[in-house]
A and B are shown apart, each in its own frame.
Chain A
Amino acid sequence: MSDINTQRRQFLKTSAGAAAVAIAPGMLLYQVAHGNTQAASSKVRWGMLIDTTQCKEGCNDCVGACNKENGLSGGTKATDPQWIRKIELKDIGSGRVTSLPMMCQHCEHPPCVDVCPTQASFKRADGIVLVDRHRCIGCRYCMMACPYKARSFVHEPLENQNPDVPRGKGTVEACSLCVHRIDKGQIPACAEACENKAILFGDLNDANSEIHKKVRSVASVQIRADLQLNTGVRYQGL
């Protein structure tokens, strides 16, 4: 292998990189102006890695950010929707206390999608599990099937919804991973709001992404792994 060859490769790489850097902002600008006209790709698998050792007991920042972003009231009556909630865990054996946020785990094999009679519950190509509120008939079978109690039913008529997040009475809803933000190239509101950076968001399939590397290097678990749903949200430090 000659030196020249390596140099040539190096040059090609650099210039390709430079070209990418030059074009990318243009692409971004285009996206902002016209919306993301690309369909979600099945090469991507959006997910989260939640570091419970960084999650503070009593801190509710992620919940507050979610409520604000998605226009939830923040009420905690039994009939109020909650897309994300903080759970405090106490190990019965050792007494160790852990705190973590719980939301839709965006399963690869979501039970809610299996049971939905109208295909309103569906998994987008990039792994986000959503409710198509135009098809949902409000039967609540998905809520029965979800192992994480991630879904809520809208029990009351709503007003003044966020234009980016339509919500309405009589349908089931849940964490959408802030799909409207993801499609704009932003990260979910909860991940952005966490001061301790306990929520790492990214593409589990992208070998260069931080989340991909971290999931490979640190021990993480899926909740109710026994059900073999292959969740997109993973927890570390449990």
Chain B
Amino acid sequence: MRLLASLLLCLCIPAAWAAEANAPKLDIGLGGQCVKDTQWMRKNHMHLLKHQREETVRKGIREEKDALKNCVECHASAGDNSVTAREDSFCVGCHRYAAVKIDCFECHASKRKATLAKKDEQ
């Protein structure tokens, strides 16, 4: 089933790219400068992340700049400190639009570390 679904998804993605022009409006978060060129990131952030996780988990190379934590630190909404809480949250908006499903935040924290620490103390 899932296999079939993902096959269908793959077929859908080119269509999604074609419709890039009217992509959803996103809550970018804090702003500043992304770790790479924005255009490049739009197309290649998944390769960056997947490369980075191999390097970190299996080899122990911790380039903090490219860590998923770092994306969250910057891209989490200034309002709710999360990259997944709302429809237009940074890591949700595009994916919903392109019908991509990611499971990263089943394990990885989707909120800024500072806010999590604060909650711990309460």
Contact = CB atoms under 8 A, between A and B. Distances in A.
Q: Per the CB under 8 Å rule, do A and B touch in the complex?
A: yes
Interface of A: 34-40, 122, 124-126, 130, 132-134, 157-158, 160-164, 166-169, 171, 179, 183
A37 B63 contact: yes
A236 B107 CA distance: 36
Q: Main secondary structure on chain B at its contact with chain A?
A: helix
A134 B57 contact: yes
Interface string B82-122: 00000000000000000000010011110101001001000
Contacts of A158: 106-107
B84 to A, nearest CB: 12
B109 A160 contact: yes
B53 interface: yes
A41 B23 CA distance: 44
B59 interface: yes
A35 B107 contact: no
A106 B59 CA distance: 16
B67 interface: yes
Contacts of A38: 60-61
B116 to A, nearest CB: 7
Interface in B31-77: 53, 55, 57-65, 67, 69, 72
A126 to B, nearest CB: 7
Given A132-B57, A161-B109, A34 B63 contact: yes
19 contacts: A35-B64, A35-B65, A35-B67, A38-B60, A38-B61, A39-B59, A39-B61, A40-B60, A125-B60, A132-B57, A132-B58, A160-B109, A161-B109, A162-B109, A163-B111, A166-B109, A168-B103, A179-B60, A183-B60
Nearest to A119: B58
Contacts of B108: 161, 163, 166
A196 B116 CA distance: 31
Nearest to A36: B62
Contact of A126 (B60, B64, B67): B60
A133 B65 CA distance: 21
A124 to B, nearest CB: 6
A46 B59 CA distance: 15
Given A34-B63, A168-B106, A169-B106, A163 B72 contact: yes
